[in-house]
A = this chain, B = another copy of it.
Amino acid sequence: MKDVAARAGVSLGTVSNVLNHPELVSERTRRRVQSAIDALGFVRNESARQLRGGGSRTVAYVVFDAANPFFTDVAAGAQAATDAAGLALFLCNSGEDRERQAAYLDLLEQQRVEGVLITPVDPADPRLAALARRGTPVVLVDRGAGPEHCSVTVDDVLGGDLAATHLLDLGHRRIAFVGGPRSIGQVADRITGAERAIARGGGEPLTVLETEKLNIAEGRRAGERFLGLPAARRPTAAFCANDLLALGLLQQLVHLGLRVPQDVAIVGYDDIEFAAAAAVPLTSVAQPRQRLGRTAAELLLDEARGPAGHTHQHILFAPELVVRASTGLHRAATVA
């Protein structure tokens, strides 16, 4: 910037004014400075600017699994909101890894981002509360929060209930749950919801096939374990914690010779775009993904704008069941 000033024959302050308050600078000087900038290829050093007091104009979304289309849809919603506010959104993929989540949170705080959206692997990480306490707004996405954050969630207990109720209505009595680890709140809630429905509807206790992650590969593995269950105790339906698991499970079961939905009915969760395109189109519990992201980002921006006039909110959306071929009408017909 010094060089620019020298070349244009003005002071540092004037160059800065051209950049930040062009209306204060005369047309003539502004042009001279601008051409010096262009000639020298000057690029403002954001660190220095930020140091002096400007904010970072940056927000981050720490995502649980970037490879899951559910989260990229949420991110798209968030980006719509940050774009409108003129902030940049960085995506950070924790990849279901606590340490990576921790590393990102530390980094983001050091970089003084304006706020953090996060779908946490580990909502108990003290970093989250600390971050908020020290003044970086944090909004939990798809996960409930304590009094120190805003949160935007979808009712996972209800979602689990919807899924299980649907299967019970179709006449299924022995239902499997595929998903895990249970330490993940969403998983635990969906199980709770399913158990609630079963208790009410009079099915047998849920057979839980716990997985280590929530991806397609784990779904396939669960398929093998499913088939390994003694035929007498084998469930006639599976409710999966997300669509990736459901797609993997579906693929593996079909591969091993079972028919869906005749032999096994499957319900997924999230209703990602691929669910409808699956080998057997997937019944799934739909969440308002974009809306989730947009709302979360709006809450974040509100808090970042005026920490004063902001009160934490916990917004809860309702999921909806989308019925497709993977649960079929077969049993229903049988029952009816």
Contact = CB atoms under 8 A, between A and B. Distances in A.
A278 B103 CA distance: 37
A276 B48 CA distance: 50
Given A45-B110, A47-B51, A48-B51, 5 more contacts: A47-B112, A83-B100, A89-B92, A90-B90, A277-B278
Contact of A279 (B41, B49, B279): B279
A13 B58 CA distance: 30
Task: Count the copies.
Answer: 2
A225 interface: no
B67 A76 contact: yes
Interface of A: 41, 43-51, 57-58, 60, 66-67, 69, 72-73, 75-76, 79, 83, 88-93, 95, 100, 103-104, 107, 109-112, 130, 133-134, 216, 247-248, 250-251, 273-274, 276-281
A27 B88 CA distance: 42
Contact of A110 (B46, B73, B111): B46
A274 B274 contact: yes
Contacts of A58: 107
A222 to B, nearest CB: 14
B279 A46 contact: no
B276 A277 contact: no
B110 A95 contact: no
